């Protein structure tokens, strides 16, 4: 439900932060920096033990960062919150992926990962459509 934030980011940059494409680029780069930090955290792990605890925690960080971002009206705070969201997103996606591959039987791993990929990537366009439709109906708050 949270991944379609990307399709709403241009509206936020233009109407809420009252800026243009360069601000959108900074916001998206901030997500990338956070994701890079999250990937570094995952790469530094020595074992998969305890990884199941990362999944709900990372989902909370990702969602909480996006909720806090929705209330932000300044660029510096928005950049920090998008980086936090990037960390949570990367930790969640990598944790889910690693746990699935670890617990799957070797002869079924390819099938399981293909279903995971279809479910994850295949649902993004529908989530984006829903997010755009919801935003068109509800609208957005602009900076005063």
Kindly report the pTM of this predicted structure.
Answer: 0.82
pLDDT digits (tens, 9 = 90+) for 59-72: 999 999 999 998 99
pLDDT digits (tens, 9 = 90+) for 83-110: 999 999 999 999 988 998 888 888 988 8
Task: Tell me the angle at which helices 75-103 and 51-71 cross, rounded to the nearest 10 degrees.
Answer: 160
* Short-list 1, 30, 9, 22, CA closest to 140: 9
Tokens 């995971």 sit at which residue? 116
């Amino acid at each position: 439900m949270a991944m379609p934030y990307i399709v709403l980011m241009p509206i936020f940059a233009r109407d809420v932060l009252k800026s243009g494409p360069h601000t959108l680029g900074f916001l998206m780069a901030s997500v990338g920096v956070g994701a890079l930090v999250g990937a570094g955290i995952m790469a530094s792990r020595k074992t998969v033990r305890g990884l199941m605890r990362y999944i709900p925690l990372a989902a909370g960080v990702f969602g909480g960062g996006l909720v806090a971002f929705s209330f932000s009206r300044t660029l510096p705070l928005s950049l920090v919150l998008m980086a936090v969201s990037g960390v949570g997103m990367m930790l969640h996606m990598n944790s889910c992926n690693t746990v699935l591959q670890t617990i799957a039987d070797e002869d079924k791993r390819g099938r399981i990962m293909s279903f995971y990929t279809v479910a994850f990537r295949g649902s993004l366009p529908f989530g984006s459509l829903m997010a755009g439709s919801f935003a068109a109906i509800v609208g957005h708050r602009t900076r005063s």
